[in-house]
Amino acid sequence: DQQVKQNSPSLSVQEGRISILNCDYTNSMFDYFLWYKKYPAEGPTFLISISSIKDKNEDGRFTVFLNKSAKHLSLHIVPSQPGDSAVYFCAASELGSGGGADGLTFGKGTHLIIQP
Amino acid sequence: NAGVTQTPKFRVLKTGQSMTLLCAQDMNHEYMYWYRQDPGMGLRLIHYSVGEGTTAKGEVPDGYNVSRLKKQNFLLGLESAAPSQTSVYFCASSFRDPPRFFGPGTRLTVL
């Protein structure tokens, strides 16, 4: 049973436009969400996170939105740049309820391709 | 700062062979993790450690053992490798949950 779903395996966006990556979850106990970015042959890099007490968190060109009632979060990248081409993983944790390290569940990832 | 490093980068084993993957971090992090990533899958936690001398099982611990004898090192052992353990292995570290810094990965093939 997949608790964190990234339903788009890939997404193609033109350079300069907005990239929107989506993530759905089923476990209502998740209270902390993260996005990681991964280039080929490298390890994932932490990008941005959001706690369930917020509905938005912004860091430069990256903004994560959380809709708890819909159990949905999205990552917006504005404007998209060629270096943003990578695989993006959504992850969720039951941090507040003491879920700990073993409570971090990853989605399968979305491959974002930025076209010139 | 080297961050999180992993040794080796690539390895091919025959079924039944053993090996140890080494993870090292120079950020004085308490938490260290071992994940595996299989094609088309998200990362899955194998084992983790919340401090020197401690280890705990993750989601997929079977067939693996770990040790954290020094704070900066986290070793992952395969006692008798199986083809199902063919994967890319990532080590990560953090001051606390969840993991923030990942190593570059070890690509392991078991024939």
Closest alpha carbon to B71 in B88, B91, B53: B53
Q: What does the DSSP assignment read for B54-93?
A: --EE-SS-TTEEEE-SSTTEEEEEESS--GGG-EEEEEEE
The pLDDT tens digits of the residues spanning B36-59 come to: 999 888 899 999 999 999 999 998
Q: Do A93 and B48 touch (CB under 8 A)?
A: no
Instruction: Give the separation between CA A50 and CA B98, rounded to whole angstroms.
Output: 12
Residues of B whose CB is below 8 A from A8: none
Q: How many CB pairs under 8 A join A and B?
A: 62
Instruction: Give the separation between CA B21 and CA B94, rounded to whole angstroms.
Output: 19
Q: How far is B14 from chain A (nearest CA, A)?
A: 23
Task: With cut-offs at 50, 70 and 90, classify the pLDDT of residue B84.
Answer: very high
Mean of pLDDT values over A56-84: 97
Question: Does position A97 have pLDDT exceeding 60, yes or no?
Answer: no
